[in-house]
Amino acid sequence: MTIDLKQLPQLQPLFKLLSSGAHLNRLQDSELWVELENHQSQYETLFAALGFSLVLDGRGYAYFKTDQASAYTGKLTRRLALLLMLLFEYQADQGLHLFQFQQWQLDTPLINKLHIHYHAILEAEEITSPQTIKEILDSAARIGFLVLEDGAYRLLPAVHRYLDLFQELAQAERNDPIQTEDDAEDTL
Amino acid sequence: MSDILKARISDIKTALEELHQAFQERDMAALQQGAVRIDNQLRQILQQLDQDTHAIQDIAERAKGADERMPLSRRYREVLEAYDRYVQPMTELIDPFAGGSFYPLLEDAERVLESLSQQLHNQGGLYSHQVLLRQVGFRVKDLRETGRLALNQCTNILMPLREEIRRHNHLSAAIGQLLGDVRKKGLRRTFPQKSLPVWRKERPVSVAIGAELLTLMEQVRHYQPKAVNFPEQTVEEMQIPLERVDEDSIRKHLYQNLPVLDLMQWLVNHYGYYQDATLLKLYHKFIRLPDISTSPTTDETQISLKKVRIRLHSHTLEAL
């Protein structure tokens, strides 16, 4: 396959964003997104040749898939998973539609409520203050899971990666509870 | 609503039978009456389907347009109810694959009407009667098509909304289940590390030349060695020639001679052959020996050494 680099004018910003580990979101970076979608196969080939596996999800986000994580990333992703679960449970209890998560305003009062409401479970993960929650959200914002606007966080479509995982894990456990327990033991 | 439909269907069934009977009895008035009755029922059904479709569209629009902050269950209650109470029974009734009685009946009616109209034609019946039967037959065909479309439309309107709620419920159930696990066995054991989304920051390694290095290089480029003259060999003789002094033995000698009344005198007497500096050094060392008591004499004495003559209050040494 011949790739004409002249037809990929956004290659540099795209690669810079994706290789920083961040997620490209359709609505946040619409220009890059359109470019990526229009030349998807070229970009995929080009990035694959460089050793990056591009994932483009129709729900509006793209990223470089990797299995290697630093210790820092491992901790952050686990904490973020917990925060997202707590947030979604809380919002569901408020009667909100979970799949409209992109419209939620994750502002300071809500973060404080989460902190109070789930104090014990957060404490167990050494998330002891609303400030720590904000720090986690800030880190997640840097890689495109959220965006900070006017002092409130908003979830971005890339959060679907976690939602898919939640359903997958719960499904697996429902089907075979003993097996997953064993798996959990193995990872220790 | 499906109950009304059922009632109408059974009415059509009876009317068909009567139609059949009337035909056999050659009762043209009853035939006409029966055909009009079926036609009426069919029209009613069509009208009802049309109304129902509109009603369902309204329900969907209300749900979509409702305030987003309204609790989900309330917002979509009508949708779920409409689906459960209307679409589902209608599907069961209409869908031939689900064993619905609607289509078999319509097909039946179509067949009967067709054959009656044909027979009437063969027997040379009134043209207006033939036309009437044929008209009813067309309406039956129309209803078959319209019924399918209406049901499809209702399903298409409600299904996405219903699916949306189901997805919401699935997710919320999944999260509830996982959070239960987290509470029981901890976060780490709930999420195997491999399954979580991860990302990696590629850090390009680059070497840049700092300003300090540039300055240094600039200096190197303009480096000029400083001229340093190599020192010439000096021929001058040393002012103080070196000599070997066995301090330990001198000290021992001193200890044996204690008490010494005049240390300087003693040194000159026994070791006068050393240089002046050496004698003075020894003198100062010995008056500081820790295990000897020293005290300067009150009288000033003069002693001529090799090159200098000194005046001093010489020390007297005694053993402690």
- B90-145 pLDDT, tens digit per residue, is 777 777 666 667 777 788 888 888 888 888 778 777 777 778 888 888 888 888 88
Task: State residue A10's pLDDT score.
Answer: 86
Q: Mean pLDDT over residues B214-218, rounded? A: 85
CA distance A166 to chain B (A): 6
Q: Which of A70, A81, A95 sits opposite B191 (nearest CB)?
A: A81
Q: Mean pLDDT over residues A142-147, rounded? A: 91
How many Å separate Cα B222 from the centre of its chain? 55
- C-alpha dihedral (B30, B36, B40, B42), degrees to nearest 10: 100
Which residues from chain A sit within 8 angstroms of residue B205, using beta carbons?
Answer: none
CA distance B172 to chain A (A): 7
Task: State residue A186's pLDDT score.
Answer: 45
Task: State residue A160's pLDDT score.
Answer: 92
- A15-67 pLDDT, tens digit per residue, is 888 888 889 998 888 889 998 988 888 899 999 998 888 999 989 999 998 87
Which residues from chain A sit within 8 angstroms of residue B74, using beta carbons?
Answer: 95
Task: State residue B99's pLDDT score.
Answer: 66
Does the pLDDT of residue B270 top 60, yes or no? Answer: yes
Chain B, 234 to 263: residues with Cβ < 8 Å from chain A are none
CA distance A84 to chain B (A): 9
Nearest to A96 by CA among B173, B71, B163, B67: B71
Reported for B68-75, long-range contacts at CB under 8 A and 24+ positions apart, including other chains, are B68/A96, B68/A97, B68/A100, B68/A103, B69/A96, B70/A95, B71/A94, B71/A95, B71/A96, B72/A92, B72/A95, B72/A96, B72/A97, B72/B165, B72/B168, B73/A95, B74/A95, B75/A97
For the entire predicted model, the pTM comes to: 0.58
Q: How many CB pairs under 8 A join A and B?
A: 135
Tell me if A74 and B173 make a contact (CB, 8 A cut-off): no
Task: State residue B235's pLDDT score.
Answer: 67
Q: Mean pLDDT over residues B277-295, rounded? A: 84
Between B52 and A135, the higher pLDDT residue:
A135
B27 contact partners, CB below 8 Å, separation of at least 6 = none
The amino acid occupying position B314 is S
Rounded CA separation B293/A187 (Å): 83
Tell me if B72 and A169 make a contact (CB, 8 A cut-off): no
Chain B, 168 to 207: residues with Cβ < 8 Å from chain A are 168, 170-179, 181-183, 185-202
Task: State residue A135's pLDDT score.
Answer: 92
Does the pLDDT of residue B198 top 80, yes or no? Answer: yes
Which residues from chain A sit within 8 angstroms of residue B170, using beta carbons?
Answer: 167
Rounded CA separation B28/A116 (Å): 83
CA distance A50 to chain B (A): 12
- A85-129 pLDDT, tens digit per residue, is 999 999 888 888 888 888 888 999 999 999 998 988 888 888 889
Task: State residue A137's pLDDT score.
Answer: 93
Task: State residue A185's pLDDT score.
Answer: 46
B72 shares contact with chain A (CB less than 8 Å): yes
Q: What mean pLDDT, rounded, does chain B reach? A: 81
Three-class secondary structure assignment of chain B: CHHHHHHHHHHHHHHHHHHHHHHHCCCHHHHHHHHHHHHHHHHHHHHHHHHHHHHHHHHHHHHHHCCCCCCHHHHCHHHHHHHHHHHHHHHHHHCHHHCCCHHHHHHHHHHHHHHHHHHHHHHCCCHHHHHHHHHHHHHHHHHHHHHHHHHHHHHHHHHHHHHHHHHHHHHHHHHHHHHHHHHHHCHHHHCCHHHCCCCCCCCCCCCCCCHHHHHHHHHHHCCCCCCCCCCCCCCCCCCCCCCCCCHHHHHHHHHHHCCECCHHHHHHHHHCCCCHHHHHHHHHHHCCCCCEEEEECCCCEEEECCCCEEEECCEEEEEC
Q: Mean pLDDT over residues B168-197, rounded? A: 83
Task: State residue A145's pLDDT score.
Answer: 92
Which residues from chain B sit within 8 angstroms of residue A19, using beta carbons?
Answer: 201-202
Q: Which domains does chain A have, with CATH numbers?
A: 5-65 (1.10.10), 71-173 (1.10.10)
B284 shares contact with chain A (CB less than 8 Å): no
> In terms of CA atoms, which chain B residue is nearest residue A17?
B201
Rounded CA separation A74/B188 (Å): 10
CA distance B160 to chain A (A): 13
> In terms of CA atoms, which chain B residue is nearest residue A158?
B197
- B13-35 pLDDT, tens digit per residue, is 888 888 888 878 877 788 888 88
ipTM of the complex in this document:
0.79
CA distance A92 to chain B (A): 7
| Residue A180 confidence class, pLDDT cut points 50, 70, 90 | very low
The rounded percent of chain B whose pLDDT value lies above 70 is 93
- B231-258 pLDDT, tens digit per residue, is 777 766 656 667 788 888 888 888 888 7
Select the residue from A47, A61, A75, A85 to test the B interface by mutation, using most B Cβ atoms within 10 A. Answer: A85
Which residues from chain B sit within 8 angstroms of residue A97, using beta carbons?
Answer: 68, 72, 75, 164, 168
CA distance A35 to chain B (A): 22
Does the pLDDT of residue B291 top 90, yes or no? Answer: no
Rounded CA separation B219/B83 (Å): 86
Rounded CA separation B288/B296 (Å): 12
Q: Mean pLDDT over residues B74-89, rounded? A: 79
Tell me if B174 and A167 make a contact (CB, 8 A cut-off): yes
> In terms of CA atoms, which chain A residue is nearest residue B184?
A121
Select the residue from B80, B199, B200, B206 to test the A interface by mutation, using most A Cβ atoms within 10 A. Answer: B199
Tell me if B170 and A167 make a contact (CB, 8 A cut-off): yes
